Amino acid sequence: MSLQDTTHRLRPQLISQDITSWHGLQTVSTYDTTRADASVARIQQAYQAMLAQQQTETEKLALYRAAADAARLAEWEFHNAILAMKEVVLGQYGSDSDQAQAVGLKKKSDRKRPSRKKSVIVTS
C-alpha cells in the first residue's frame, strides 16, 4: 500500500461513504478476516475514536469562537477608549500642542496647507 498524505482532511462526502460502508458491514453476519486492521472490532474502535475526536474538535472550535469574539470585543473597547482619550487631549491641550503630538496626533501647525493649482491655458 502506498504512503498516504495525512496532512489533509478527508472530504465529508468520503467520510459519509465510509460510515455507510461500516453500517452496511454490520448487516453482514458472516464477515470474518485474519487482517487485524480490517476486523470488526478494529473498525468499531476506529469509528468510536473518530466520533470522540470530532466531538472534541467541535467543542474546542466553539470555545475558540467564543474566545475570538471576546478578544474582538476587547480590542474594540480598547480602541474606543483610545479615541476618547485623544478627544480629551485635544480638548484639554489643543490641536497644536506637544501633548497632542505625544498621543499620536499631528500638530495643527505641522499640517501642509492646501495650495492653489495654477491653471494652464491651452491654445490650439
Q: How far apart are CA 45 and CA 27, in angstroms?
A: 17
Q: How far apart are CA 76 and CA 68, in angstroms?
A: 12
Q: Would residue 53 count as lying in a domain?
A: yes
Average pLDDT over residues 19-33: 93
Q: Would residue 18 count as lying in a domain?
A: yes
Q: Would residue 64 count as lying in a domain?
A: yes
Which cell numbers hold the place of 22?
A: 461500516
Does the pLDDT at position 1 exceed 60? no
Q: Would residue 3 count as lying in a domain?
A: no
Question: Which of 21-35, 56-70, 80-94, 108-122 has the weakest average pLDDT?
Answer: 108-122
Residues 6+ apart with CB under 8 A from 33: 39
Percent of the chain with pLDDT over 70: 98
Does the pLDDT at position 2 exceed 80? no
Residue 115 has what pLDDT?
78
Which amino acid appears at position 30 of this protein?
T
Residue 44 has what pLDDT?
95
Instruction: State the total domains in the chain.
Output: 1
Q: Would residue 120 count as lying in a domain?
A: no
Q: Would residue 96 count as lying in a domain?
A: yes
Q: How far apart are CA 107 and CA 101, in angstroms?
A: 6
Q: Would residue 54 count as lying in a domain?
A: yes
Average pLDDT over residues 51-74: 97
Q: Would residue 81 count as lying in a domain?
A: yes
- For 34, the domain range is 12-109
Residue 46 has what pLDDT?
96
pTM tops 0.85, yes or no: no
> What confidence category does residue 124 fall into, taking pLDDT thresholds of 50, 70 and 90?
low
Residues 6+ apart with CB under 8 A from 96: 107, 108, 109
Tell me phi and psi for residue 25, to 5 degrees: -65, -35
